[in-house]
A and B are shown apart, each in its own frame.
Chain A
Amino acid sequence: MATATTGVSAAAPQARDTSRDAAQKRPSGRAFNVVAGIVLGVFAVIWLIPSLFALKASLSSNGDAALGAGTVISNLSPTLGSYSTLLASGDIWDWYLSSFLTAGVTTVLAVLFASMAGYALSKLRFPGRRLVFAAMLLGIMVPPQVLVVPIFQMLDGMGLLNTYWAVIFPQVPTVIAVFVFKQFFDGLPKEFDEAARIDGAGYWKIYRQIVMPLSGPIIAAMAIITFVGTWNNLILPLFVVSNPELMTIPVGLATVQGSFGQRYADIQASAILGALPLIILYMVFQRRIIEGVAGSGLKG
């Protein structure tokens, strides 16, 4: 992120103060801001409507939800019926378990391995380092979704289909994370680990007790991004896990009709339940997530 430019104009002469204030207070400037606020506000409300509508529908009865948008909006007696049906029926708990397990294990492994590799590429000299680096660069360009067919075949050959591992393993190698870690470690002063080397510490100790603790924000950002990405992955678990009891939330929502049919309220409730952990995650880690997104322009 380019923070250097701000330093340039920081030393703007104080003499300009009055004219600067005048510039801000100039009618065209202020009016524009007000108009901007209003226009943006309208769009922001429009952007909130689908989620709110879905929420309202999920809090209606199935009959009302089927009658149409007007009924859903004007209905003034919310009911938790859909949520209680879903939470009592059992399937969604299996899906939560599957999603938490797979996303959690993948995140731990991915962050661990990527940070280790990033550390090696940043701080350690080893033969073939350039080759590994080049291989990683190529890896960034590989789109994992396109590989779903051969990955399926390989999992089949290993007998791993319909297990959590089928969802976990292919998602562990996240090349971008390696680069993010490497870049971050590059920025860490050499003195830390060099001093430790002189004191006789092994590389693993350095990694574990110096480098990693200093990397809090980066680890957090990578962990969140990996967790969310794994949770939301559809195409891989869709084909490698076929049993409703083992499905992750997106797959369960997508494939199991249950006895849903025209039970629109139930469907909307399930959609919201499926997203709930991520919504909570976002609320708690908002700043980290935004920083992570803005700072690295990741995902795609």
Chain B
Amino acid sequence: MTWNAPPGPTRRTLLRGGLAGAAALGLAGCGSPLAAGIAGTPLNPDTVTFWNLFGGGDGARLQGMLDVYREQNGPGSLTSATFAWGNPYYTKVSLATLGNKPPDVAVAHSTRATILAQAGLLEPITDELLALGGFSSSDFTTSVFDAGKVGDVAYTIPLDTHPYVLFFNSDVCGQAGLLDGDGKLVQIVGQQAFEDALTAIAGVTGGAAWAASNVGDTSGSWRLFQTLYWQMDGATDFLGDDGQQLTVNEDLAIATMEFIGGLAAKGLLTPTVDYAGAGTQLFTGKVGFQTQGEWEITTAQSIEGLTFGMAPIPQVFDVPAAQADSHTFIIPKMERTDEQRQLAMGFVKSMLDQSLSWAEGGHVPAYIPTLESPEFAALEPQADYAAAAEIAKYDPPGWYSGSGSNFENVVGSQIGLVQQQLASPQEAMAAIKSQLNTYLDTPSPVA
């Protein structure tokens, strides 16, 4: 019996041929990614690659600023990508750096940048590096610049500080008698005064007086807690020893939660509302106050017919304080030529020069030339709460802490439950301690 080879190309050869054809097409059209994907060559070596986590209003504003850079330097000069805010973004940045293909410049919160720095993933920001962009460390607000240091080495180039602030509906608050002659909020100092103000507002709205989002917004709940907690005399950092110790003043923490839960129980504070809903309640006059990050100013400004104002969170207890974090630029570690460093710093300089645009989005500039400029002083209502940046309280140190971190999720969840009246302050504190135990007992993976 003999056998005959079948005629014609086999399926495999067809497949191989098709693939080669596709690859050739790709090579013609895409160049760089193909080479990078196959041979690991650098991606986009002649352009600035920039990653950020700005969505929503901030995202739109940023795109405007990036377009200005592109106009000045050519359309192919910049590649930018936006990722989901929080852990997904930071995981991407660190994994990309480990895989040797990080972006040239990336945005990072101060509180997360230091952790990335400890992990050895960032390039130090030296005076020489800053000089490449034409600026120096003295151009930045000292406290913000120092917040990005690990030891004596700086790892961040600050862009802004974004504190947790108070938004108020002018109509409602006016009717409640809380506005002065200029339409600004009167000074409210002390617990009694604050509750009186809320009661007055509730009288006008017929419902709650103050909306603070606590559904699907653990960071928001954390910010509320951190702000009120640090307004109390004797408050200590929640975590100490770089996240190995629980150093929170438990009595004050529970008192803070009791205050929050109490207001919710009295109907003055919304018990259950999500991020977008809290804003809507303020815009439609269902509440007079909303506490949120200042970046929501863009949303508020887009509502037709709304008159609103902003102010630092009133000093309810002993000292003024407000939770805040800062956005900064970081340079992930990679083999770079001096030319690439120059390009990267040029990009950062362009962004800093546009700090005023960024400030229009509600943020308080950390770039002194902008901060002290008359244009910024003239910005309303930014000028009203710029002072909040000076009483800023950052998240406690810890490898699992920082904006959008597991720490914020753990504590924020419980605060949210207290506000929802689903947990007592004692239960919440116990849950927080139990959930943080794992992290407290674990040696830092970035130490």
- Cβ distance B49 to chain A, nearest Cβ, rounded Å: 8
Contacts A199-B2, A213-B10, A242-B101 known; 5 new A-B pairs at CB < 8 A: A104-B22, A156-B99, A161-B95, A164-B38, A246-B101
Q: Is A219 an interface residue (CB 8 A)?
A: yes
Give the contacting residue for B82; candidates A104, A209, A243, A256; CB below 8 A.
A256
Contact partners of B101 in chain A: CB under 8 A: 161-162, 242-243, 246
Pair B99/A240 contact, Cβ less than 8 Å: yes
Stretch from A40-48, A55-63, A94-102 at the B interface: A94-102
Pair A196/B99 contact, Cβ less than 8 Å: no
Contact partners of A164 in chain B: CB under 8 A: 37-38
Give the contacting residue for A97; candidates B2, B33, B79, B82; CB below 8 A.
B33
Give the contacting residue for A261; candidates B18, B33, B59; CB below 8 A.
B59
Contact partners of A94 in chain B: CB under 8 A: 30, 33
For B19, the closest partner residue in chain A by CB is A104
Q: Is B266 an interface residue (CB 8 A)?
A: no
Pair A261/B55 contact, Cβ less than 8 Å: yes
Interface residue ranges of A45-98 to B (CB < 8 Å) = 93-94, 97-98
Pair B33/A210 contact, Cβ less than 8 Å: no
Given A163-B36, A242-B95, A244-B81, A101-B55 contact (CB < 8 Å)? no
Pair B3/A196 contact, Cβ less than 8 Å: yes
Contact with A along B8-51 (1 / 0, CB 8 A): 00111001101100110010011011101111100110000000
A239 to B93, CA, bound (A): 11
Given A212-B10, A258-B82, A242-B2 contact (CB < 8 Å)? no
Interface residue ranges of A216-247 to B (CB < 8 Å) = 216, 219-220, 223, 239-246
Pair B19/A163 contact, Cβ less than 8 Å: no
Pair A161/B100 contact, Cβ less than 8 Å: yes
Q: Is B193 an interface residue (CB 8 A)?
A: no
Give the contacting residue for B11; candidates A160, A163, A220, A244; CB below 8 A.
A220
Interface residue ranges of A177-224 to B (CB < 8 Å) = 191-192, 195-196, 199, 201, 208-210, 212-213, 216, 219-220, 223
Given A212-B12, A213-B6, A100-B22 contact (CB < 8 Å)? yes
Pair A261/B1 contact, Cβ less than 8 Å: no
A161 to B92, CA, bound (A): 13
Contact with A along B244-274 (1 / 0, CB 8 A): 0000000000000000000000000000000
Q: How many residues of B contact A (CB 8 A)?
A: 46
A-B pair count, CB < 8 Å, reads 124
Residues of B participating in the A interface, judged by any CB pair closer than 8 Å = 1-3, 5-6, 10-12, 15-16, 18-19, 22-23, 26, 29-30, 32-34, 36-40, 43-44, 55-56, 59-60, 63, 79, 81-84, 88, 92-93, 95-96, 98-101
Cβ contacts A to B, 11 pairs, < 8 Å: A101-B34, A104-B19, A195-B2, A201-B3, A208-B10, A213-B10, A239-B95, A242-B93, A245-B79, A256-B83, A259-B82
Pair B36/A245 contact, Cβ less than 8 Å: yes
- Cβ distance B63 to chain A, nearest Cβ, rounded Å: 5
Give the contacting residue for A216; candidates B11, B55, B81, B99; CB below 8 A.
B11
Contact with B along A105-118 (1 / 0, CB 8 A): 10110001000000
Pair B33/A245 contact, Cβ less than 8 Å: yes
Pair B5/A209 contact, Cβ less than 8 Å: yes
A244 to B56, CA, bound (A): 20
Residues of A participating in the B interface, judged by any CB pair closer than 8 Å = 93-94, 97-98, 100-101, 104-105, 107-108, 112, 156, 159-165, 191-192, 195-196, 199, 201, 208-210, 212-213, 216, 219-220, 223, 239-246, 255-262
Pair A162/B82 contact, Cβ less than 8 Å: no
Give the contacting residue for B63; candidates A156, A212, A243, A259; CB below 8 A.
A259
Contact partners of B95 in chain A: CB under 8 A: 161, 239, 242
Contact partners of B100 in chain A: CB under 8 A: 159, 161-162
Pair A242/B30 contact, Cβ less than 8 Å: no
A241 to B33, CA, bound (A): 12
- Cβ distance B52 to chain A, nearest Cβ, rounded Å: 10
Contact partners of A159 in chain B: CB under 8 A: 40, 100
Give the contacting residue for A245; candidates B12, B32, B38; CB below 8 A.
B32
- Cβ distance B170 to chain A, nearest Cβ, rounded Å: 26
Counting from the closest, the 10 A-B pairs by CB-CB distance are: A161-B99, A242-B96, A164-B37, A162-B99, A195-B1, A245-B33, A162-B101, A209-B5, A213-B6, A244-B81
- Cβ distance A249 to chain B, nearest Cβ, rounded Å: 14
A244 to B15, CA, bound (A): 27
Most chain B CB within a 10 A radius of its CB, from A100, A223, A262: A100
- Cβ distance B5 to chain A, nearest Cβ, rounded Å: 4
Contact partners of A105 in chain B: CB under 8 A: 19
Given A156-B99, A159-B40, A213-B10, A259-B81 contact (CB < 8 Å)? no
- Cβ distance B441 to chain A, nearest Cβ, rounded Å: 21
A195 to B1, CA, bound (A): 6
Contact partners of B88 in chain A: CB under 8 A: 255
Given A159-B100, A261-B55, A209-B6 contact (CB < 8 Å)? yes
Contact partners of B5 in chain A: CB under 8 A: 209
- Cβ distance A239 to chain B, nearest Cβ, rounded Å: 6
A164 to B23, CA, bound (A): 13
- Cβ distance B81 to chain A, nearest Cβ, rounded Å: 5
For A100, the closest partner residue in chain B by CB is B22
A5 to B127, CA, bound (A): 83
Contact partners of B6 in chain A: CB under 8 A: 209, 213
- Cβ distance B379 to chain A, nearest Cβ, rounded Å: 24
Contact partners of B12 in chain A: CB under 8 A: 108, 112, 212
Given A243-B43, A256-B81, A108-B99 contact (CB < 8 Å)? no
- Cβ distance A284 to chain B, nearest Cβ, rounded Å: 14
Contact partners of A213 in chain B: CB under 8 A: 6, 10
Contact partners of A107 in chain B: CB under 8 A: 15
Given A108-B12, A220-B11, A97-B19 contact (CB < 8 Å)? no
Contact partners of B30 in chain A: CB under 8 A: 93-94, 97
Contact partners of B92 in chain A: CB under 8 A: 242, 255
A23 to B346, CA, bound (A): 85
Given A108-B12, A112-B12, A256-B83, A246-B3 contact (CB < 8 Å)? no
A11 to B420, CA, bound (A): 72
- Cβ distance A195 to chain B, nearest Cβ, rounded Å: 4
